[in-house]
Structure 1
Amino acid sequence: MAEAWVALALSLKVAGWATALNLVFGTAAGFALARLRFPGRDLLDALLTLPMVLPPTVLGYYLLVLLGRRGAFGAWLHEQFGIQLIFSWQGAVIAASIVAFPLVMKSARAAFEGVDAQLERAARVLGLSEAAVFFRVTLPMAWRGLLAGLLLAFARALGEFGATLMVAGSIPGRTQTLSVAVYEAVQAGQDDVANLLVLIISLTCVLVLLAAGRLAPARSVPA
């Protein structure tokens, strides 16, 4: 049973890092799509949403091509810094981040589009810089939607299987996350371990979804 808790700790670590990365990149992408007008915006939105609909194994294959030792980016990392992302927990973080990215991006875009533009204009008239307007007006009004998206992304990253298995493999104590450990336990006929793992990940995801559900409707509640 000790392996179950090791897998849980690794899953939380991977999901936490993936959520932190999406907090930065997903929020930035959502804000850009919500506020900027440029040719190809709809196409960019579709491309950034693609990980939500593509099979995880397809995403895993793309990552293998990109990050493998013979891949364009992976070869450069290995030659310049001796870094190998394949079969590492960092590779699992990248896979989980990409799979969960659309959840944060879509939530962030909707949250920013729901902010009253008149309040932002009023803040600019009062002399606030664009950064101050964002952190003192826009972000406080959009934080519920952002947090709901981050919670959903955390749950998605916690349960990621296909892309993670292809990129990081299943090395106990190093890359074997909860979802991968469930698969391995079932294949090995260890029903007691599989039941425990399924219970742990199910309860964790239910709690996260309940928290996200309490936050998401609050975005549309009039002040």
Structure 2
Amino acid sequence: MATEFTGPGDPARTMALLWRPEGDARRPGPRAGLDVDRVVAAAVALADREGLAALSMRRLATELGVGAMTLYTHVPGKAELVDLMHDAVLGELYPEPPTGEWRARLTAVARANWELCVRHPWLVHVGTGRPILGPHLMAKYETELAAVDGLGLSEVDMDLLVSALNGLVQGAVSGLHQKVDAERATGLTEEQWWAATAPYVDRVFDAERYPTAARVGPVAGPELGGYAPERTFEFGLARLLDGVAALVEG
């Protein structure tokens, strides 16, 4: 699936929509049939069901039962819409700030982000190298920095640690969605695919040429049931936290 990027739209329009006053969508008098919040919620629901590739302004207008030009009076285009969607779902994070000692706080941060990306698979296809600083993104950043505050780390190390934690989640959850997508595309479970592929692998695999793989694969494969994104996430999180402990103690 192609990646959509935050930030390619009109930044002035996007920021105005992201930071609009809370009362804007609910002015006194009868509520309008359509507003920005409804547009964004419908776009998120569509992307959750069918992915970002299925999302277009025309398709979304059809979902909402309005003309495409009506939709453009609320959101300038798809680029700005993706920014709004991304920030909106980040608002699901951290109803309460993570508490406890630092390892418990960072574990809560990682698992909250994992669960968010599981609920919204399209999130892993949104590139955020140029983030649009909406209210929920800023709240996420503040909460995650607060989770590592007071450990004696420099400001730079605090930022790098938060980035590393989020990168771990993104990588592992991408693998989870790839497994689901592969099963949907092929009609085969991972076990069925390996069973069909194994005879051909046996013909070409040279254990003398790949001795380490020959030793590890037959043990890890059955133990993990093939590629195991959940186990990869838990293992990576534990090792990252061990590294943080060494950094803090140092």
Q: Compare relative contact order (CA 8 Å, sep 6+) and give the higher one, 1 or 2.
A: 1
Task: Give the structure-2-normalised TM-score.
Answer: 0.29
Q: What's the TM-score, normalizing by structure 1?
A: 0.31
Normalized per residue, which structure has more helix? 1
User: If you compute each CA radius of gyration, which structure gives the higher value, 1 or 2?
Assistant: 2
